[in-house]
Amino acid sequence: MPTSPQRSARRKDALSKERIVATAIEILDAEGEAALTFRALSTRLATGAGAIYWHVANKDELLAATTNDVITRAMKNASVDGGPGAAIRAAALAAFDAIDAHPWAGTQLVREPWQPAIRHILEAVGTHLDGLGVPKHAQFNASTTLLTYILGTAGQYAAGMRFMHQQTDRVEALTSVAQGWSDDGDVTPFVREMAAQLPEHDDREQFIAGVEMILTGIAAIS
């Protein structure tokens, strides 16, 4: 029996939670949420499906770990220069960019809002409220409103990615959505106007605009 080609590749290093999480992220990034199964993962790791369970409790824990990994790294790199307002904007944008790069993390953030990754985002946007002059009693609502807005964006982003995964073009995909909105029997006037703007809008600009509105609202409290 000849030496099989993948023999040298496997068992390079032992299985570990880090290696499992890293491989899971690779699959999620490259092939999307639906592609991450324990079978696919164990094949890629050249091991049995059950082996993974020695390192992670279940799929939920695995997904929380991947999300935590990606979000933690992103929040750590967010700039805190330029005053409290700038720091909050930077934190929100860091979260946005992480989700833009890893849309599957958006699904997971919304799915389990008590996971560590959420706390990193909350901390990053919340710490600077003091500096902004927001009174203590208003900081809970102020920070969770920002967080909720970020989570809403995360969910839509992930949904869009699932929808587009087979699609060629972004504008084309959004146009077909807008088309669907307009073709329906019960189109309402405001939705029709918005549908027209849907294909060409910029997600990042839209996100920033929302953050600015909320920051204006927060400023009005203090």
The site for its own copies (CB under 8 A) is made up of 110-114, 116, 119, 122-123, 126-127, 129, 139-145, 147-153, 155-156, 159-160, 163, 177, 180-181, 184, 188-191, 193-194, 197, 201, 206, 209-210, 212-218, 220-221
Residue 53 or 163 having the CB closest to its own copies: 163
**Distances, alpha carbon 213 to alpha carbons 54, 72, 146, 217, in Å:** 47, 26, 10, 6
Nearest to 121 by CA among 156, 97, 104: 97
Q: How far apart are CA 115 and CA 175, in angstroms?
A: 35
Residue 49 or 191 having the CB closest to DNA: 49
User: Under a CB-based contact definition with an 8 Å cutoff, are residues 131 and 107 in contact?
Assistant: no
3-class SS of residue 216: helix
Contacts of 40 (CB under 8 A, 6+ apart): 27
Binding mask 45-84 for DNA (x = CB under 7 A): -xxxxxx-xxx--xxx------------------------
Q: How far is the CB of 111 from its own copies (least distance, A)?
A: 6
Residue 49 or 208 having the CB closest to DNA: 49
The item of DNA, its own copies, none sharing an interface with residue 143, based on CB under 5 to 8 Å by kind, is its own copies
Q: How far is the CB of 164 from DNA (least distance, A)?
A: 19
Q: What angle do CA 113, 115, 117 make, to 5 degrees?
A: 100
Q: How far apart are CA 27 and CA 74, in angstroms?
A: 19
Residue 45 or 105 having the CB closest to its own copies: 105
The item of DNA, its own copies, none sharing an interface with residue 103, based on CB under 5 to 8 Å by kind, is none
Q: How far is the CB of 53 from its own copies (least distance, A)?
A: 21
Q: How far is the CB of 65 from its own copies (least distance, A)?
A: 14
Q: How far is the CB of 10 from its own copies (least distance, A)?
A: 34
The item of DNA, its own copies, none sharing an interface with residue 50, based on CB under 5 to 8 Å by kind, is DNA
CB-based burial of residue 139 (10 Å sphere; 0-12 exposed, 13-18 middle, 19+ buried)?
middle
Task: Determine the angle formed by the axes of helices 59-76 and 83-101, rounding to 10 degrees.
Answer: 140
Residues found near DNA in the complex (CB under 7 A): 14-15, 36-40, 46-51, 53-55, 58-60
